[in-house]
Copies of this chain bind each other. A is one copy, B any other.
Amino acid sequence: MNHAYTATAEAHPNIAFIKYWGNRDHAERIPSNGSLSMNLRGLVTRTTVAFRPDLGSDRLILHGRPVGGQALARVSRVLERVRAWSAMGWYAEVRSENNFPTGAGVASSAAAFAALAVAAAAAAGLTLPERDLTRLARLGSGSASRSVPGGFVEWHAGASDENSYAESIAPPEHWALADCIAIVSAGHKAVGSSRGHRLAETSPYQPVRVADAPRRLNLCREAILQRDFAALAEIVEADCHMMHAVMQTSRPPLLYWGPPTVALMHAVRRWREQEGLPVAYTIDAGPNVHVLCPQEAAEVVRRKLAEVPGVQRVLVAGPGGPARVVE
């Protein structure tokens, strides 16, 4: 049942092939470098936004429980922008649920803020081009901008709110890739990404990583457009290590890896180099390991991952579509 000033949207998390780490402008979440990702079909966040005349402030309800503090402040930041762009003057109640674990390597905030941006715009009666929806999502979580368009998505770093936006470079059908996510911990991270992004600039390696980003983006974009798995594997792993090197050399150092993370990195490399399996790993700001492979290899990879000590569960996702209004 749909009411006026109410809308529900769904969005997928995404896995970054070229990572986002560090901001040029923290308040507007203008990133230090461009990034590139694939949406993850099957993993879904569903968010309902209801603007209501009876509210004295915005409200956030996650999995049925009211949430305040930083999480609510980030939601309000997106809602404020929607109110500024529209005639809407009311506060909103936001209800959100994921079908996947929160906070440890599967970027739940990306899906959450993508769904929020799309639902909030629709609820306020705004019809925005996709590009502007990605800017809106970016205000809540940088990587959320990449969960708004479908398939394989590039977020152009830009230099201001207007030109820091994401767009699809290829639809989900373009390439039958799979992301096999080896979950080694479903708990929350010790240091959340928002704080981590602020630490990026304390690493002496961050300027090198940022300056080299256009090269990596070009290699990754080409690998995707050509469906060249070997080229993708090489640049994705290199970019992952460049980000974790920045994390591990920031002050204080951030070591997101656990023992099983390292076991998985060695295993994936062994499978590729010694068994000829087309696999590549990447790791976000958490201990879980995302193992990319062509979909025809996914079942074998899933089984092998499940046997690595420390792996609690394996999720498998293909390329997902865009965030969209569902009610």
User: A residues near B, CB below 8 A?
Assistant: 204-205, 207-209, 212, 237-238, 241-242, 244-246, 248-249, 251, 253, 255, 257-263, 265-266, 269, 309-310
CB distance from A204 to the nearest CB of B (A): 5
CB atoms of A266 and B258 under 8 A apart: yes
CB atoms of B261 and A255 under 8 A apart: no
Q: How far is the CA of A319 from the CA of B207 in the complex (A)?
A: 38
Q: What residue of chain B has the Cβ atom nearest to residue A253's Cβ?
A: B241
CB distance from A36 to the nearest CB of B (A): 18
CB atoms of B255 and A248 under 8 A apart: no
CB atoms of A253 and B266 under 8 A apart: no
Measured between beta carbons, the chain B residues less than 8 angstroms from A242 are 204-205, 249
Measured between beta carbons, the chain B residues less than 8 angstroms from A263 are 258-259
Measured between beta carbons, the chain B residues less than 8 angstroms from A262 are 255, 257-259, 261-262
Q: What residue of chain B has the Cβ atom nearest to residue A264's Cβ?
A: B259
Q: What residue of chain B has the Cβ atom nearest to residue A242's Cβ?
A: B249
CB atoms of A238 and B249 under 8 A apart: yes
**B255, B265, B309, B310: the one within 8 Å of A265 (CB):** B255
